[in-house]
Chain A
């Protein structure tokens, strides 16, 4: 009987909308409601953070930080009329961008790089074989063979538009709001991202052809 009750309860939660689940969590700290929200969205949020950062430990930290902020800021900044996931994504996006910028600042002051290098993107620098050690080169080679490595080469703002669109199928209006730019700018970033990716895919293909010839 109890099993049936629990089962029915679970079914009820899965049929609820995000807004209703958030309300249950907000008013009663309902554990099942929060778990249901996590089940629905955790992989997309985590994938976005991971794809932006490309480092599992940092991605874990940012993922946790995102949810800590979700809980603490829920009463102050979340409006129940709005989409919960868009609000969570905004927090995740801001936390990710903050981290990337902090990293950039850190590497910018590092003496390892020349002035010329400091103007380029953080992930571009990681590709420099003179900087990374042997282990990192191995990881880098593995990454290069995948789509993820191409994504990581994109400038931060293009990368975030691509990933928000891919993982959330977010309309450009929402992407524009989330990244604080106009719709045309967001669309332009997407276009440049696709052009860059096309170039990377072509370079990869040329390299493969070269290896095949050898």
Chain B
């Protein structure tokens, strides 16, 4: 019964597929009670068509219209202000970023130059310990003899000789030299 009721309201409200409609109309022809129910509901539904259409009071409609226009214009003005503020802000931010990045770029460039200078100066001033390479060559890298103070380099040279040791075996076939051969030295 519930199913039939649902179907009858769907039929009356034209919420059925054409094929469903045909099927239901066939059912109505067979079932007299269903026919009475549908026709009774249809009659009631038709009475609803007499429901009056009411007009809103004209002065109220006019007031609503003028208020709506005013409000909308205000909204548009506000949104335009916001848009222009935003675009100005974006432009300002872009300029600021440009200035900052340019400043950073140039100051970094200067810094690099300064660092280079410092490094260059550094090579002249800093002292690096002398070392002996695999060929037993003595190196003094990173030092230079300065006119005003010639002692450091001379001192290094003097001290470096004192570090050298005499080789006892004439063949030179010492464990350390063997080590050198083993490490595939060029000598």
Mask, A183-205, CB within 8 Å of B = 1, is 11001101100110110010000
B72 and A29 contacting across the interface, CB-CB below 8 Å:
yes
Chain B CB within 8 A of A8 CB: no
A147 and B47 contacting across the interface, CB-CB below 8 Å:
yes
B65 and A35 contacting across the interface, CB-CB below 8 Å:
yes
The A-B contact count (CB < 8 A) is: 110
Chain B CB within 8 A of A123 CB: no
A191 and B54 contacting across the interface, CB-CB below 8 Å:
no
Q: In the complex, which range does the number of interface residues on chain A fall in?
A: 35 or more
Cα separation A167 to B79 with both chains bound (whole Å): 36
Cα separation A151 to B8 with both chains bound (whole Å): 21
Q: Is the interface of B mostly helix, strand, loop or mixed?
A: helix
A38 CB contact (under 8 Å) in B10, B44, B53, B61: B61
Chain A CB within 8 A of B18 CB: no
Give chain A residues whose Cβ lies under 8 Å from the Cβ of B60.
Answer: 60, 63-64
Chain A CB within 8 A of B9 CB: yes
B73 and A29 contacting across the interface, CB-CB below 8 Å:
yes
Mask, A142-174, CB within 8 Å of B = 1, is 000001100100000000001101110001100
B6 and A72 contacting across the interface, CB-CB below 8 Å:
no
Chain A CB within 8 A of B172 CB: no
* Interface residues of A, Cβ cutoff 8 Å to B: 25-29, 31, 34-35, 38, 42-47, 50-51, 60, 63-64, 67-68, 70-72, 74-75, 147-148, 151, 162-163, 165-167, 171-172, 183-184, 187-188, 190-191, 194-195, 197-198, 201
* Interface residues of B, Cβ cutoff 8 Å to A: 5-6, 8-10, 13, 15, 40-41, 44-45, 47-57, 60-61, 63-65, 67-69, 71-73, 75-76, 79
A–B pairs, 19, beta carbons within 8 Å: A25-B72, A42-B55, A43-B55, A46-B54, A46-B55, A47-B51, A60-B56, A70-B68, A74-B72, A75-B79, A147-B51, A172-B15, A187-B6, A188-B6, A191-B6, A194-B9, A194-B44, A197-B48, A198-B44
